[in-house]
Each structure stands twice: as structure tokens, then as C-alpha cells.
Copies of this chain bind each other. A is one copy, B any other.
């Protein structure tokens, strides 16, 4: 299970991506919209900022804004930022590789063999999907197919 922190981070990014470009959102709005715990979100936004995903403006009319377009934001790194390594085994992690303490041979380890390909595919999928794709997919499901082309009647 991914952490609450990761879920919040993701939700915040989606909300920011939906906000009008150039305007951004304030913590207050974000938390009221989505019913999120304010101070916890604050920490998470700080981390997102430190990682270069968003920018902030301080002071009275402050707030947060996406720094990159949503089609350059991938799920994998976002998840990793919130939760740390994604890999099921440290010896399979690309970003936090570590040999298992008791491992004799990685090549022969049955557990490693078991997870090797499934995890590689899983990770590749997460690395390749973008926020923009997900938002489009969500939109498409929200509208009945016949209405999609009638946005401007």
C-alpha cells in the first residue's frame, strides 16, 4: 500500500494541474476543496517544492503553482518522492540499491527472480504515465461518449 502522504501528494498535484495556469492555489483552498489536513499538506507541498515540481509565492496573495506542464510529470518519480523506493526488494531498486544482508548470489536468488520482471514492467508503466494522461482518462470517463464532441454546442 502506498502511504497517505503519497496519496495526498498526488491529489495536490492533480488539483494544481487543474487550477488556472498563472493563478495557482493556496493551501487553504486546496484543503477545503479536497478535505485534507492542512499542516500535513503544508509539509508535503514543501517537499514538492524542494523537488522542483511546484513554485510558491509567499505573503498575502501567496500560493502554489505547477512548474512543469502536466504531460512532463510522471507518476513514478512522484511516488518515489513521497514514499521512497518503489521496489519490492532493495536489490531491485534503481534509486536505492542495496545488497541483501544474507544474499549469496543475486543471480540465483529465487525471490529476486520472482520479482524481477513483474516489477520492471510495473515500474516502467508508472514511469511512463503522466499526470496529463490520467486527467484526460478521468475526463473521458466522466462524460458519456456521445457528448464528448459537444463541448461547445
List residues of A whose CB falls within 8 A of some B CB: 1-2, 7, 10-11, 14, 34-35, 75, 85, 87-90, 100, 102, 105, 107-111, 113-115, 117-119, 121-122, 125-126, 129, 131, 134-135, 137-138, 141-142
Contact = CB atoms under 8 A, between A and B. Distances in A.
A110 B131 contact: yes
Contact of A126 (B1, B105, B118): B118
A90 B1 contact: yes
Main secondary structure on chain A at its contact with chain B? helix
Contacts of A141: 107-108
A138 B110 contact: yes
Contacts of A2: 88-89
B118 A119 contact: no
Residue in A2, A131, A142 whose Cβ sees the most chain B Cβ within 10 Å: A2
B10 A111 contact: yes
Given A90-B1, A110-B10, A111-B7, A125 B121 contact: yes
